[in-house]
Amino acid sequence: MPDRRQPDSSTDDNPFAAPPEGRPDQPWQPRSNGDGGGRPDEDPGSGPGGPARWDPTDPVQRRARYALLSGMWGFFFGIFGIPSMGLLLGALALYWGISGLRGKPVAGASAVDGAAGPAPQGGLAALGPAARPQRTAAIGGLVTASLAILLALSSYGLQLAYKDFYVCREDALTKSAEMQCNNLLPDNMLGKILKVQQ
């Protein structure tokens, strides 16, 4: 049997360290919150105002995460020149972000009994200060959704304003014919960006 070293203070918090000399081996089990309160291995959702745990069954938290993901992808599609996908994902992110921030109140027992008491808050409002990560995700989704929609609308606006150029470029059969389409663009910075390069 290998010789066990005495644990020093640096290995006291190591759950994988060997037990002290003379103590029998025990199967591993998670630490309870009573083992020195305030330690970093406590349940992060246990304290009031602590970070909220990700609960996939909560539709409000799901919408906040969906808003961030679809907003980011909509922004990327807008940058890479696929405005239809950018517009779709941006609109979805806008809807999910707003519904995630609003968090519809949950109907309480007072509504069932017909009493006039206020219904308890639901969604992100029910989490209180612990809802910061979800609220940040929803706001980030709203920002990226706005950018994705702006990129998609500006792309559609350019195609509408310079329709003759785009039609000419699509109908051109040769490179020289495509270069002739540059005459339909204005002589400014936007025209230099859109014009067909040699």
129-139 pLDDT, tens digit per residue, is 667 888 888 89
Q: Which residues 6+ apart lie within 8 Å of 197 measured at CB?
A: none
Q: Which residues 6+ apart lie within 8 Å of 69 measured at CB?
A: 93, 141
pLDDT exceeds 50 at position 160: yes
Q: Is the pTM of this model over 0.95?
A: no
pLDDT exceeds 80 at position 56: no
Residue-level pLDDT at 9: 55
Mean pLDDT across the stretch 168-193? 82
pLDDT exceeds 90 at position 75: yes
SS3 state of residue 192: helix
Mean pLDDT across the stretch 150-167? 88
Distance CA 127, CA 2 (A): 50
Structure tokens at 106: 């949950």
Identify whether the C-beta of residue 144 lies closer than 8 Å to the C-beta of residue 71: yes
Q: Which residues of 134-161 are buried (b: 16+ CB within 10 A; e: fewer)?
A: bbebbbbbbebbbbbbebbeebeebeee
pLDDT exceeds 60 at position 167: yes
Identify whether the C-beta of residue 31 lies closer than 8 Å to the C-beta of residue 43: no
pLDDT in tens, 92-137: 999 999 988 887 544 433 344 444 445 455 556 666 666 788 888 8
